[in-house]
Amino acid sequence: MKLAQVPAACGIHCRPYGRGDRSAVRGILHSTGFLGEELAGKGLFEDKRLFALVNTEGYLRFQPSFCFVAVDDADGTVAGYIIGTGDSRRYEKTFRRRMYWRIAVRCFLVSWWRHPESFRHVLAWARAYSDSAEAFFDGYPAHLHINVLPTCQRRGIGELLIRTFEATLRDAGVAGVHLITSNRNSKALPFYAKLGYDVLAQKPGTFWQGVEGHVAIVFGKRL
Ligand SMILES: CC(C)(COP(=O)(O)OP(=O)(O)OC[C@H]1O[C@@H](n2cnc3c(N)ncnc32)[C@H](O)[C@@H]1OP(=O)(O)O)[C@@H](O)C(=O)NCCC(=O)NCCS
């Protein structure tokens, strides 16, 4: 299915990510990045730039053909984004080679003294990073991350972004896609279920390990 054939959400269109969208993506990430909720002011992870280096920058720099934004027709505001890759195994290698040093530089120059809570979090995450969803890479080689501004949710934007991403994967001949969310993310769980994603596994660890009651849920869909 080509991009133009994906049904549109009212007043919103989807287009490929462009460099000028970087700060909007960073802002949306931070306002929805803690198990689907706002991160700012929680004292959990205040270094926005470091958070983006870990969660979005690798895709934006090295997988731009799998990155899309949803834009308000009226004023051009970016209301949401979807980012990911068609080949998770390859992406993990790219991430290690090309993003680790960028993350280390940020930690060394800024985070450890200005945002110690973020620095500690990244250290814990780096130790657990090998525990990825690798068991699913053969059947579900792609993966995704999706975030919609809180004020724009429940308007069909998430569905528009997912359909666009899936159409891109199908065009590229990718057989399946997976993602990791949390049992505590009360918006994401019904969203993925509605869009035909199945629970593949539950596991401890991932980015928010140590947060009370959090268990990571791996969802997948064959395309
Ligand atoms: C999860 C998320 C991407 C959904 O995006 P959205 O634009 O609000 O979703 P849509 O409007 O396209 O919803 C499609 C369907 O999913 C289900 N759904 C979406 N949000 C839901 C919610 N909060 N509660 C229950 N069902 C929900 C509904 O069935 C909905 O269809 P309906 O509105 O016709 O009933 C959005 O809530 C979000 O960005 N959350 C914060 C970031 C996040 O958690 N991302 C996922 C991390 S893994």
**Confidence at residue 77, expressed as pLDDT on a 0 to 100 scale:** 94
Tell me which residues have their CB closer than 6 angstroms to ligand 1: 32, 36, 146-148, 153-159, 179, 181, 185, 187-188, 190-191, 194
CA distances (Å), origin 68, targets 84, 104, 161: 9, 27, 7
Q: State which residues form the domain around 50.
A: 3-136+143-173
Does residue 178 lie within any of the structural domains? no
Instruction: Give the Cα separation of 17 and 216 in Å (integer).
Output: 28
C-alpha 191 to ligand 1 mean position (Å):
5
Count of the separate structural domains present in the chain: 1
**Ligand 1: residue whose CA is nearest its atom 1:** 188
C-alpha 156 to ligand 1 mean position (Å):
8
Q: Which atom of ligand 1 is nearest to the CA of 149?
A: 39
Does residue 111 lie within any of the structural domains? yes
pLDDT band at 126 (very low <50, low <70, confident <90, very high): confident
Residue 159 CB-density burial (10 A; 0-12 exposed, 13-18 middle, 19+ buried): middle
**Confidence at residue 60, expressed as pLDDT on a 0 to 100 scale:** 98
**Confidence at residue 67, expressed as pLDDT on a 0 to 100 scale:** 98
pLDDT band at 4 (very low <50, low <70, confident <90, very high): very low
Residue 184 has pLDDT above 50, yes or no: yes
pTM of the model: 0.94
**Confidence at residue 2, expressed as pLDDT on a 0 to 100 scale:** 53
Does residue 188 lie within any of the structural domains? no
Does residue 113 lie within any of the structural domains? yes
pLDDT band at 142 (very low <50, low <70, confident <90, very high): very high
CATH number where 154 lies:
3.40.630.30
